[in-house]
């Protein structure tokens, strides 16, 4: 089981190459301090929602794109130790000052693993990602896990490389935005951060057509959460190390 630090960021679309260069420069330092895998994905198919969506989650402005990214660690303890080292590394402080985006609107949080299906991603293998953020009643944690256990084999059958579901463990309150605000979570709810990895956008699009037509998806799998406040989007992988 892994521990995940998940991020959603609004980045000026014109700064895409600058963002990628910034992330690539940080990657060796993060790995040195304990990050096992770092993935950065760029908004490609990010729909507007009626109540919530990725753009509203980070108050994205005209001319900005949404980045969905995460770090993987072997445990919460490893994440905590890494953050302590990162915060005291003078090489990282300069990188924070040169971020090519508005860090005040970036949201981040720590999540514990609920479900991992499929092989752990290898660098360069994942070309496209479906990202999800979901409000779930805290008392429905096991019901949510069982819900995903029932549905994940369908996605794997149609080509998904990996499915990861994570449960909010450390959700800091932000001054401008945060994960709880993003899904309008009530005090009784937690936040799930999850993703599906694919080889490409084309394979993902073809798979979804088959998935929605699969009779297993037509069965009564009552969702243990408010789907109206869940938001999702498709993201192209730009860095996977």
pLDDT, tens digit, 9 for 90 and up, residues 214-239: 999 877 668 999 999 999 999 999 99
pLDDT, tens digit, 9 for 90 and up, residues 73-102: 999 999 999 999 998 988 887 777 789 999
pLDDT, tens digit, 9 for 90 and up, residues 143-162: 999 999 999 999 999 999 99
Instruction: Determine whether 222 is exposed, middle or buried from the number of CB atoms within 10 Å of its CB (0-12, 13-18, 19+).
Output: exposed
The two beta strands, 107-117 and 3-12, are: antiparallel
CB atoms within 10 A of CB 34: 20
pLDDT at 28 exceeding the cut of 70: yes
User: In Å, how far are 17, 42, 77, 219, 240 from 127, measured between CA atoms?
Assistant: 17, 11, 30, 30, 9
Residue 220: predicted pLDDT = 64
Q: Where are the domains of the chain?
A: 3-240
Sign of CA dihedral 181, 57, 40, 100: negative
pLDDT band at 128 (very low <50, low <70, confident <90, very high): very high
pLDDT band at 49 (very low <50, low <70, confident <90, very high): very high
Average pLDDT, integer, range 10-39: 96
> Contact at 8 Å (CB) between 155 and 211?
yes
Question: What SS3 class is residue 204?
Answer: helix
Mean confidence (pLDDT) of the chain: 94
pLDDT, tens digit, 9 for 90 and up, residues 174-219: 999 999 999 999 999 999 999 999 999 999 999 999 999 999 987 7
**Per-residue three-class SS string for 8-34:** EEEEEHHHHHHHHHHHHHHHHHHHHCC
CA-wise closest residue to 193 among 3, 65, 51, 31? 3
> Contact at 8 Å (CB) between 105 and 10?
yes
CATH of domain 3-240: 3.30.70.100
CA-wise closest residue to 91 among 31, 152, 163, 166? 31
- How far is residue 80 CA from its own chain's centroid? 19
User: DSSP assignment of 108-153, as one string?
Assistant: EEEEEEEEEESPPPPTTT--EEEEEEEEEEGGGHHHHHHHHHHHHH
Average pLDDT, integer, range 51-60: 98
Residue 124: predicted pLDDT = 57
pLDDT, tens digit, 9 for 90 and up, residues 94-120: 777 789 999 999 999 999 999 999 875
Q: What is the pTM of this model?
A: 0.95
Spatial separation of the C-alpha atoms in residues 217 and 223, rounded to whole Å: 12
Residue 180: predicted pLDDT = 98
> Contact at 8 Å (CB) between 7 and 69?
yes
Residue 120: predicted pLDDT = 59
Residue 149: predicted pLDDT = 95
């Amino acid at each position: 089981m892994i521990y995940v630090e998940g991020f959603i960021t609004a980045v000026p679309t014109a700064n895409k190459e600058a963002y990628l260069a910034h992330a690539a420069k940080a990657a060796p330092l993060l790995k040195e301090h304990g990050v096992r895998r770092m993935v950065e994905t760029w908004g490609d198919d990010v729909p507007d929602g009626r109540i919530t969506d990725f753009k509203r989650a980070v108050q994205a402005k005209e001319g900005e794109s949404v980045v969905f990214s995460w770090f993987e660690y072997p445990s919460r303890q490893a994440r905590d130790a890494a953050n302590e080292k990162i915060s005291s590394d003078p090489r990282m402080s300069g990188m924070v000052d040169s971020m090519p985006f508005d860090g005040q609107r970036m949201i981040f949080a720590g999540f514990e693993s609920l479900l991992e299906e499929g092989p752990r991603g290898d660098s360069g293998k994942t070309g496209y990602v479906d990202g999800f953020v979901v409000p779930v009643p805290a008392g429905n944690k096991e019901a949510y896990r069982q819900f995903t256990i029932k549905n994940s084999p369908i996605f794997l059958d149609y080509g998904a490389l990996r499915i990861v579901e994570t449960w909010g463990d450390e959700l800091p309150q932000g001054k401008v935005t945060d994960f709880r605000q993003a899904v309008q979570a009530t005090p009784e709810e937690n936040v799930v951060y999850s993703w599906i990895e694919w080889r490409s956008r084309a394979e993902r699009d073809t798979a979804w057509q088959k998935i929605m037509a699969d009779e297993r998806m037509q069965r009564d799998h009552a969702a243990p959460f408010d789907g109206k406040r869940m938001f999702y989007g498709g993201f192209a992988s730009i860095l996977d190390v």
